[in-house]
Amino acid sequence: MPIRTTKLMEMKQVGERIACVTAYDFPTARLAAAAGLPLILVGDSLGNVVLGYDSTLPVTMDDMVHHTRAVVRGAPDALVVADMPFMSYQVNADEAMRNAGRLMQEGGASAVKLEGGQHIAETVTRLTDAGIPVMGHLGLTPQSVNQLGGYRVQGRTLPEAQRMLDDAEALERGGVFSIVLEAVPAPLAAVVTKRLRVPTIGIGAGVECDGQIQVLHDILGLGTRQPKHGKRYLDLNAMIGEALQRYAAQVREGTFPAEEHATGIDDAVLLELLGAVESER
């Protein structure tokens, strides 16, 4: 049975931690779903992780729809949340509605995620009133990296911390079903988590959040990223590199493909073919 946004609220109420990951394609989504992860985020981090950009800013709506559709095929019963990319919701609420609708109708997403606080609360309300589930995102918001002066922890000063609390409460009033807290001091994230009825999902925000989310490629050691907030559970870079080297070596040596990797043909057919070829000469 597909997981709904209300499931996350129930998990918060009973103190059950929420494990989430990003995924950007069918095979990784299938693996995440098989592991029992209730929420999969199709993050615009695909720009950095999959498409090779320096930031999330070049990611387009077409990119997000394409990758969301693949993830939904791989995890049809998970709560698949799709990021709304840069400038897909900032212009006005009408444009936000159109683009959120695309992610749900064309991409098959169960919900969308927006970055920002009080300044987008009205847009959040507009979306949720239309029946579009919304996840919020506070703290380090990658789409605002140029304004923030880089990828820095947010909420360290009293004004910043107070604004984050105000932003979180504004998003909750707007109807979000959860809020991602990224690169936020752990004590502040704990305060926000206790203040809200909706669950918080941390990434670099400490253990007191209701759940955690990580980029799948980071925890699997696939790629070059090694963020401070992440933990590498595998080293797929080394494993895949070794496998490719072995494959290339066996091809060069002529030991692959072996007999068990090839398909034969009936001897009579082969003899007839060879006879025909010979007669043509």
Angle at 53 between CA 48 and CA 57, to 5 degrees: 90
pLDDT digits (tens, 9 = 90+) for 255-274: 999 999 999 989 898 888 88
- In whole angstroms, what is the distance from residue 253 CA to residue 232 CA? 35
Would the pLDDT of 70 be above 90? Answer: yes
- pLDDT range class, residue 145, cuts 50, 70, 90: low
Q: How many domains does the chain have?
A: 2
Instruction: Answer positive or negative: Cα dihedral of 178, 102, 54, 164.
Output: negative
Would the pLDDT of 45 be above 80? Answer: yes
Same domain? For 193 and 275 the reply is no
Helix-strand-coil percent breakdown of the chain, rounded to 5? Answer: 50, 15, 40
Same domain? For 165 and 110 the reply is yes
Same domain? For 162 and 187 the reply is yes
pLDDT for position 130: 96
Contact of 59 with 252, CB cutoff 8 Å = no
Q: Position 127: which residue type?
A: L
Would the pLDDT of 152 be above 80? Answer: no
Same domain? For 167 and 30 the reply is yes
Longest dimension (CA), the chain: 91
Instruction: Answer positive or negative: Cα dihedral of 206, 44, 89, 6.
Output: negative
> Looking at per-residue confidence, does 225 or 201 come out higher?
201
Same domain? For 78 and 213 the reply is yes
Q: Which two tokens stand for residue 80?
A: 């698949």
pLDDT digits (tens, 9 = 90+) for 55-69: 899 999 999 999 999
Q: Which helix (H) or strand (E) holds 219?
A: helix 216-219
Same domain? For 255 and 183 the reply is no
DSSP assignment letter at 228: T
Mean of the pLDDT values across residues 142-161?
76
Same domain? For 162 and 274 the reply is no
Domain holding 211, by residue range, is 5-234
| Active site (catalytic) residues | 182
Listed in order, strand segments (DSSP E) in the chain are: 18-22, 39-42, 79-83, 111-113, 134-139, 178-182, 200-203, 211-214
Same domain? For 229 and 260 the reply is no
Instruction: CATH number of the domain at 139, please.
Output: 3.20.20.60
pLDDT for position 149: 58
Beta bridge partners of 112: 82, 134
Would the pLDDT of 10 be above 80? Answer: yes
Contact of 79 with 59, CB cutoff 8 Å = no
Q: From the centroid of its chain, how far is CA 215?
A: 6
Same domain? For 185 and 249 the reply is no
Beta bridge partners of 135: 113, 178
- In whole angstroms, what is the distance from residue 25 CA to residue 28 CA? 6
- pLDDT range class, residue 278, cuts 50, 70, 90: low
Same domain? For 44 and 99 the reply is yes
Same domain? For 164 and 258 the reply is no
Q: How far is CA 146 from CA 55, 57, 73, 103, in A?
A: 10, 10, 34, 26
Same domain? For 27 and 63 the reply is yes
Q: Position 54: which residue type?
A: D
